[in-house]
């Protein structure tokens, strides 16, 4: 059996989850559901990244312990998962014992292999982003990531990253698909070609972290701590032979573009040092703006995934996130665009198609239609067109092209609507009820096919539709499954209620300031 291990980044617990976080998680969920349908054994994990100076400071400011603080925010990320209908197998917190154990073991591996040494570090430290910068990297007195900086000197363990410069370049050459998209890969390569310095991987200026084995004055650098979560979830070190582990051999890390560097440079270097093969893919996506601007609390434009799900349902949010922007590009999240896509595709094109076909069968065929004995040329063409469109959609997901995949699904829906409008089953009620039924059966069968392809993105609505067609529906994309020869259509409500834009205010969906 094919296996795949899909990971989201683990989320910082310094802010409540917003649409940007929801996006990475939804993308992974769609990828996971899609692969399950193709028959893969899927492991899918997400979680929270909870250590570091910033968290310690935020907890101090709030007058609570870091553990209480992280428990609170981590829960907001965990509770969002069922709200978004995420099918993860694991949720990892870096404060868990299983993770601390893995990190310490991994550290020792790096040390025993001779890649860690004790030195001293000075530089400008960006607290928010937990990273050091040299003087010439600062921009207007701030870090290149935009955070405030502070000059610090501390004893520190280093990782011999410089030893991996050539090995990494060779690795990318031998694995040309390692980093997606190519633009990000080129950035990584040119970054490395400027020269890799050894990396500071411990801190002594705060306590909220995993202590370094045999030197508890130091805590492990948050990125080494955080990246290792991918091994913790995969059972390391109990499951020590990762190189022969079918999930590890097929691990896909989905990440936002700003954290590619950590995943595509540091992470493979750490792994190589520990004798573990690097991940299979680092797949990177772009950034969401909100109503044309960067999301920020002070602007009051932080889009709240909880609110969208409550108002419009998780299917609608999932669909919009994947359809609105080509994967990899930046996108703009606006309520107008959301409503317009929802109404035109989910409510009108798809929802209406299902509603009118099912309602018609219930009203005019006693709720039941039989497989036609005669297939006319029009029917055969409709069926093969849908089939070809859907078949062409499969590789698009494997290329992370979620928006084009959905375009294909929408093309198939449009064909079904055209077929119905052209065949006009309602005009045959009194003249040719057999042909009328044949048309309806053909439509139901194609709705069934199309809906299976829509399922990874809108699982709740899709399962409702599949269930109405047959209680024995199968969530597979591999075979050319045929539905039963007699279809009984049960009671069916409205799938997607149309949204009246005049009733919704942008403020209804933004997070509180």
Question: Between residue 245 and residue 274, which ones bind ligand MSP under the rule CB under 6 A?
Answer: 255-256, 258-259
Dist. CA 141–CA 147, nearest whole Å: 9
x/- mask, ligand MSP, residues 198-217, rule CB under 6 A, reads --------------------
Dist. CA 337–CA 167, nearest whole Å: 45
The region, left, alpha or beta by phi > 0 then psi within -120 to 50, assigned to residue 405 is alpha
- Nearer to ligand MSP by C-beta: 23 or 448? 23
- Nearer to ligand MSP by C-beta: 295 or 509? 295
- Of 3-11, 132-140, 149-157, 467-475, which part binds ligand MSP (CB under 6 A)? 3-11
Q: Which of 4, 6, 11, 450 binds ligand MSP (CB under 6 A)?
A: 11
CA 192 to chain centre: 27
- Of 10-18, 173-181, 200-208, 503-511, which part binds ligand MSP (CB under 6 A)? 10-18
x/- mask, ligand MSP, residues 43-82, rule CB under 6 A, reads ------x---------------------------------
What is the closest distance, in whole angstroms, from the C-beta atom of residue 247 to ligand MSP in the complex? 17
Q: How far apart are the first and last CA of the chain?
A: 49
CA distances from 125 to 14, 104, 128, 151, 281 (A): 18, 24, 9, 6, 30
CA dihedral in degrees (95, 237, 26, 314; nearest 10)?
Answer: -60
Q: Which helix (H) or strand (E) holds 185?
A: helix 182-193
Q: Which of 34, 158, 236, 288 binds ligand MSP (CB under 6 A)?
A: 288
- Nearer to ligand MSP by C-beta: 166 or 330? 330
What is the closest distance, in whole angstroms, from the C-beta atom of residue 329 to ligand MSP in the complex? 11
CA distances from 397 to 27, 31, 48, 452 (A): 10, 7, 26, 14
Q: Per the structure block, which two tokens stand in for 485?
A: 């020869």
What is the closest distance, in whole angstroms, from the C-beta atom of residue 448 to ligand MSP in the complex? 34
What is the closest distance, in whole angstroms, from the C-beta atom of residue 326 to ligand MSP in the complex? 14
191 makes contact with ligand MSP (CB under 6 A): no
Q: Which helix (H) or strand (E) holds 72?
A: helix 66-84
What is the closest distance, in whole angstroms, from the C-beta atom of residue 21 to ligand MSP in the complex? 5
Q: Which of 387, 369, 368, 385 is nearest to 377 (CA)?
A: 385
What is the closest distance, in whole angstroms, from the C-beta atom of residue 333 to ligand MSP in the complex? 9
Q: Which of 487, 490, 466 is nearest to 371 (CA)?
A: 487
9 makes contact with ligand MSP (CB under 6 A): yes
In the beta sheet, which residues pair with residue 46? 91
- Nearer to ligand MSP by C-beta: 332 or 427? 332
- Nearer to ligand MSP by C-beta: 229 or 423? 229
What is the closest distance, in whole angstroms, from the C-beta atom of residue 355 to ligand MSP in the complex? 34
Q: Which of 10, 28, 271, 346 binds ligand MSP (CB under 6 A)?
A: 10
In three state form, how does the secondary structure of 350-369 look? HHHHHHHHHHHHHHHCCCEE
Q: Which of 28, 226, 251, 325 binds ligand MSP (CB under 6 A)?
A: 226
CA distances from 59 to 13, 51, 55, 219 (A): 11, 11, 6, 18
What is the closest distance, in whole angstroms, from the C-beta atom of residue 500 to ligand MSP in the complex? 28
145 makes contact with ligand MSP (CB under 6 A): no
Enumerate residues 6+ apart whose C-beta is below 8 A from 323.
341, 345, 402, 403, 406
Question: Between residue 294 and residue 313, which ones bind ligand MSP under the rule CB under 6 A?
Answer: 295
Dist. CA 487–CA 447, nearest whole Å: 13
Q: Is the Cα torsion angle 151, 154, 157, 160 positive or negative in sign? A: positive
24 makes contact with ligand MSP (CB under 6 A): yes
Number of residue whose CB is nearest ligand MSP: 256
- Nearer to ligand MSP by C-beta: 20 or 278? 20
Buried b (16+ CB within 10 A) or exposed e, 54-84: bbbbbbeeeeeebeebbbebbebbbebbebb
- Nearer to ligand MSP by C-beta: 32 or 255? 255
Q: Which of 4, 6, 23, 242 binds ligand MSP (CB under 6 A)?
A: 23
Q: Which helix (H) or strand (E) holds 24?
A: helix 19-37
91 makes contact with ligand MSP (CB under 6 A): no
What is the closest distance, in whole angstroms, from the C-beta atom of residue 255 to ligand MSP in the complex? 5
Q: Which of 4, 5, 20, 184 binds ligand MSP (CB under 6 A)?
A: 20
287 makes contact with ligand MSP (CB under 6 A): yes
Dist. CA 318–CA 270, nearest whole Å: 34
Dist. CA 456–CA 121, nearest whole Å: 48
Total residues contacting ligand MSP by CB under 6 A comes to 19
- Nearer to ligand MSP by C-beta: 17 or 425? 17
Dist. CA 456–CA 393, nearest whole Å: 13
Tell me the pairing of strands 486-488 and 368-370: antiparallel
What is the closest distance, in whole angstroms, from the C-beta atom of residue 288 to ligand MSP in the complex? 4
86 makes contact with ligand MSP (CB under 6 A): no
What is the closest distance, in whole angstroms, from the C-beta atom of residue 411 to ligand MSP in the complex? 27
Which residues sit at the interface with ligand MSP, rule CB under 6 A? Answer: 9-12, 20-21, 23-24, 49, 226-227, 229, 255-256, 258-259, 287-288, 295
């Amino acid at each position: 059996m094919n296996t795949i291990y899909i990971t989201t980044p683990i989320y910082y617990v310094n802010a409540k989850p917003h649409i940007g976080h929801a996006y990475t998680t939804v993308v992974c969920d769609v990828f996971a559901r899609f692969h399950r349908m193709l028959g893969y054994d899927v492991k899918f994990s997400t979680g929270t990244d909870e250590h570091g100076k910033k968290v310690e400071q935020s907890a101090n400011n709030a007058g609570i312990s870091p553990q209480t603080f992280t428990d609170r925010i981590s829960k907001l990320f965990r509770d969002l998962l069922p709200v978004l209908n995420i099918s993860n197998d694991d949720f990892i917190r870096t404060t868990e014992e299983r993770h601390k154990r893995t990190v310490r073991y991994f550290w020792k591996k790096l040390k025993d292999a001779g890649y860690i040494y004790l030195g001293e570090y000075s530089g400008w430290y960006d607290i928010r982003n937990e990273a050091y910068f040299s003087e010439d990297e600062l921009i207007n007195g701030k870090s290149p990531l935009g955070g405030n900086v502070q000059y610090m000197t501390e004893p520190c363990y280093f990782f011999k990253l410089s030893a991996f410069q050539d090995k990494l370049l060779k690795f990318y050459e031998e694995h040309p698909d390692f980093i997606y998209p190519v633009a990000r890969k080129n950035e990584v390569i040119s970054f490395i070609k400027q020269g890799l310095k050894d990396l500071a991987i411990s801190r002594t200026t705060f306590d909220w972290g995993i202590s370094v084995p045999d030197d508890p004055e130091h805590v492990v650098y948050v990125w080494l701590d955080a990246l290792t979560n991918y091994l913790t979830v995969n059972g390391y070190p109990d499951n020590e032979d990762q190189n022969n582990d079918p999930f590890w051999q097929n691990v896909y890390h989905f990440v936002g573009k700003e954290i590619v560097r950590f995943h595509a440079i540091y992470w493979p270097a750490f792994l190589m040092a520990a004798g573990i093969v690097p991940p299979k893919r680092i797949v990177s996506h772009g950034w969401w703006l909100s109503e044309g601007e960067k999301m920020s609390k002070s602007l009051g434009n932080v889009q709240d995934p909880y609110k969208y799900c409550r108002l419009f349902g998780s299917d609608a949010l999932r669909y919009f996130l994947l359809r609105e922007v080509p994967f990899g590009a930046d996108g703009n999240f606006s309520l107008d665009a959301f409503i317009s896509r929802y109404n035109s595709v989910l409510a009108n094109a798809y929802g209406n198609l299902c509603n009118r076909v099912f309602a018609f069968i219930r009203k005019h065929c006693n709720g039941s239609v039989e497989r036609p004995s005669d297939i006319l040329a029009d029917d055969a063409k409709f069926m093969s067109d849908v089939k070809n469109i859907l078949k062409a959609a499969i590789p698009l997901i494997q290329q992370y092209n979620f928006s084009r995949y959905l375009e294909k699904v929408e093309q198939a829906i449009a064909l079904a609507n055209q077929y119905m409008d052209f065949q006009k089953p309602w005009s045959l009620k009194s003249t040719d009820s057999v042909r009328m039924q044949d048309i309806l059966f053909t439509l139901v069968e194609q709705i069934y096919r199309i809906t299976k392809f829509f399922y990874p993105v809108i699982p709740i609505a899709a399962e409702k539709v599949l269930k109405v067609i047959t209680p024995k529906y199968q969530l597979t994309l591999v075979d050319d499954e045929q539905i039963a020869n007699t279809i009984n259509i049960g009671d069916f409500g409205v799938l997607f209620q149309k949204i009246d834009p005049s009733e919704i205010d942008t403020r209804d969906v933004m997070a509180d300031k």
